[in-house]
Amino acid sequence: MATTVVTMPLTMPAREVLRCEHCQLVQFRTSNSMCRRCHKALDMEEAPAPIAMVPAVDSDSEESDAGLRVASQVKEIRKARHLSQRQLASRMQVPRTYISKIENGKAIPTLGSLERLAYALEVDICHLVRDGRGRREEETAQILADPFLAEIAQYLPRLEPLQRSLLLNQVRDRAREAAREQALGKRRTA
């Protein structure tokens, strides 16, 4: 992580002066946030250990669909981890614009970039390329792991739409009450 030395407000836009933590060079922030001398990221965070799983893509149409899935997954995971595009780019040691292009579907990452994305986001590479069906199956498996919910799930298809709606409303109300009680319990113990 670079140290901000000073921000210089001149008649032109302000320029941030940074000290590289690796080589100690004092410099203006570059457009790609890389040190001019040692070429390391100025906002760099430590990268996690590598993950060695790479899925295969079959055809061109699947490749473009996979690119869109990767784009949405990268953005979703990045936001869930509360990372900015700049922070993710520094973890990968790439320009911020590359992350933007990936998230907007304008660039499809190579296998090497997918691997670095997975490291930077601290996820398995399969999370970046899974489709909606895989995510839905995973969420369903998590829900059905609860024995009570698994038992209720057996009966839902047999209910009329009105009965299903009433049941779901009662479950939602009970969940809200439980959440309120839990929040009050935390406040009392704090």
pLDDT beyond 90 at 181: no
Does one domain contain both 108 and 162? no
Closest CA to 48 of 113, 124, 103: 124
Q: Who's near 3: CB < 8 A, 6+ residues apart?
A: 18, 19, 21
103 lies in the same domain as 73: yes
Show the tokens assigned to 64: 């473009």
Which of 26-30, 31-35, 146-150, 183-187 is predicted with the least confidence, judged by mean pLDDT? 183-187
DSSP 59: S
Mark whether 93 and 35 lie in a shared domain.
Answer: no
Say yes or no: 78 and 121 in one domain.
yes
Give me the half-sphere count of Cα atoms (radius 13 Å) on the Cβ side of residue 66. Answer: 19
Helix runs in the chain, H state only: 60-80, 85-92, 96-103, 111-121, 125-129, 132-144, 147-155, 161-189
64 and 36 in a common domain: no
Is 114 part of a structural domain of the chain? yes
Residue 52 maps to a domain: no
Q: What is the pLDDT of residues 78-126, one digit of tens each?
A: 998 899 999 999 999 999 999 999 999 888 888 888 889 999 999 888 7
Inside any domain, residue 174: yes
At 118-164, the pLDDT tens digits run 999 998 887 787 666 666 777 778 878 888 888 888 888 888 889 88
The domain total for the chain is 3
Residue 49 in any domain: the answer is no
pLDDT for position 86 = 93
For position 131, which CATH number holds? Answer: 1.10.260.40
55-81 exposure pattern, b = at least 16 Cβ within 10 A, e = fewer: eeeeeeeeeeebbebbbebbbebbeee
Q: What is the model's pLDDT at position 110?
A: 87
Shared-domain flag, residues 107 and 151: no
The CA-CA-CA angle for residues 103, 57, 79, to 5°, reads 25
**Inside any domain, residue 168:** yes
pLDDT at 58: 46
The residue whose two tokens read 């946030």 is 33
pLDDT tens per residue, range 48-84: 444 444 444 444 444 455 556 788 888 988 998 899 9
Domain presence at residue 142: no
Nearest to 185 by CA among 35, 177, 2: 177
Domain carrying residue 34? 1-44
| Residue 171 counted as domain residue | yes
Same domain, 130 and 67: yes
Task: Evaluate whether 61 touches 55 at the Cβ level (below 8 Å).
Answer: no
